[in-house]
Amino acid sequence: MGPEISLLTLAIAVVAGILGSLLGLGGGVFIIPASTLILGASMHEAIGASIVSVIAASSGAALGYVRSGLVNVRLGSFLELATTSGALAGAVAAAHTPGRALAVLFAVLLTYSAYSMFQRRDTGRGGGGAPHPLADRLSLNSAYYDAQTGRPLSYGVANVPAGFGVMWGAGIVSGLLGIGSGLLNVLGMDTIMRLPIKVSTATSNFMIGVTAAASAGYYFSRGLITPELAVPVAIGVLVGARSGSLLMPHLAASTLRRLFIPVLLFVAAAMLLKGVQG
Amino acid sequence: MNIAQGTAGRGQNEAWATERLAGGRRLETWIERTLLAGTSLSAALLVVGLFLGWAGGSGYPPGVYPRSISGIWAGLVSWRAGAWQAAGLAVLIATPFVRVLVAALSYLRNEERALAGVSLAVFALLMIGMFLGAAH
């Protein structure tokens, strides 16, 4: 791959890194279509680059988000158990599951989430659920410094067991359908655990690199990664995610929700297509 | 110490928030350092690898890159682009593993057994996933 293509890949990856870090998705959602449609990569090459991009986005953005207090590290550590065990279970179950029906079901779920997020598009903070006793015991309730209002904001973590269950489901679905778990992580933290949207996307970002690292380690050790694509993608996403993480504290929460809705609908459409076409 | 019931999530308990943000950030500091070291080192290796590749190809047959530590090291010292790129990718991939271990050690040090156990379990699951290739 010559310098021209690498530079184009870099530019695309920077944009994917910015969007992925803002939305807590890691950028795979953008890297796979961009690689196959614009750069002419095969699906196989695109998946390898996409997994690498998730790690780059996660680590690159988390650096900024941990510093600004937006990542709830303790909650992230706790929920990682749900997502990693769910992803393993999902991958093992994939052979025995009707993937197409699941994809359609999932498309419906995402469309509903987009609608529910649209209804709450102007609410920035969490829904104000009462902290769950488990959140008290593990000291999961936290605070962040809100750059927009210039004040520290505290928040509680509600419905911890239900949230853990949803995260486990998110892990399973990502293992089964091969889609990033970031989207479901954000939905779970936002709608079930009632976290502020910025904390949800930042903490999701923090977590997604972990499950992706297990897949990436496997791909790398078997020689399945294509460096010609993955290297410029990794560099671009690192730069983009770092930039996005510096930008996010200054964005309005409602802007984040508005950005999130079209992405939800896009993934829903892709899943529907996957379900119908097989 | 905990947020008063009912006010949580609405940002009303500013005193609690200030206290929370001021104290007990050691865990976050160590995680930040891990992420900074991992991303900086991998970015540096990847950029060198990218430029070396532009200048003279990967130094390996098409579609091949070194995967063992000794293979990567041999390629690094002979300035072969493929080895620099592989090293950058390997460091990038290793960073989340190290980050989970660092968190586990921080929890252990704070005598928070529940979260330490959770982080160690996550690490074990990651290793299983990596060897099975099942996590994706």
pLDDT for the residue numbered B135? 42
User: B39: which chain A residues are within 8 Å (Cβ-Cβ)?
Assistant: 56, 59-60, 63, 238, 242
Q: Which of A22-36, A238-252, B13-27 has the highest mean pLDDT?
A: A238-252
Distance, CA of B50 to CA of B47 (rounded, Å): 5
- Is there a contact between A213 and B93 if contact means CB atoms under 8 Å apart? yes
Q: What's at A140, amino acid-wise?
A: L
CB A240 within 8 A of CB A21: yes
Distance, CA of A11 to CA of B114 (rounded, Å): 43
CB A200 within 8 A of CB A120: no
Distance, CA of B23 to CA of B11 (rounded, Å): 18
Listed in order, strand segments (DSSP E) in chain A are 142-146, 151-155
Distance, CA of A199 to CA of A159 (rounded, Å): 16
Please report which confidence band the pLDDT of residue B26 belongs to, taking 50, 70 and 90 as the band edges.
Answer: confident
- Is there a contact between A59 and B2 if contact means CB atoms under 8 Å apart? no
ipTM rounded to 2 decimals: 0.86
* Of A2-6, A45-49, A93-97, A191-195, the least confident: A93-97
Interface of A with B in 78-97 (CB under 8 A): 78, 80-81, 84-85, 87-88, 91-92
Question: pLDDT tens digits for A123-182?
Answer: 655 556 688 888 888 888 888 887 777 788 888 899 999 999 988 988 887 777 666 678
A151 touches chain B (CB under 8 A): yes
Compare CB distances from B96 to A209, A235, A238 and report the shortest one's residue: A209
pLDDT for the residue numbered B35? 95
pLDDT over threshold 80, residue B88: yes
pLDDT over threshold 80, residue B5: no
Please report which confidence band the pLDDT of residue B97 belongs to, taking 50, 70 and 90 as the band edges.
Answer: very high
Compare CB distances from A63 to B36, B58, B103 and report the shortest one's residue: B36
- Is there a contact between A74 and B122 if contact means CB atoms under 8 Å apart? no
* Of A99-103, A215-219, B57-61, the least confident: A99-103
- Is there a contact between B39 and A59 if contact means CB atoms under 8 Å apart? yes
pLDDT over threshold 60, residue A1: no
User: B37: which chain A residues are within 8 Å (Cβ-Cβ)?
Assistant: none
User: A59: which chain B residues are within 8 Å (Cβ-Cβ)?
Assistant: 35, 38-39, 92, 95-96, 99
**Assigned token pair, A267:** 């993934």
CB B64 within 8 A of CB B83: no
Min distance B78 CA to chain A CA atoms (Å) = 18
pLDDT for the residue numbered B47? 96
pTM: 0.86
- Is there a contact between A55 and B92 if contact means CB atoms under 8 Å apart? yes
pLDDT for the residue numbered A170? 83
**Burial class of A121 by CB neighbour count within 10 A (0 to 12, 13 to 18, 19+):** middle
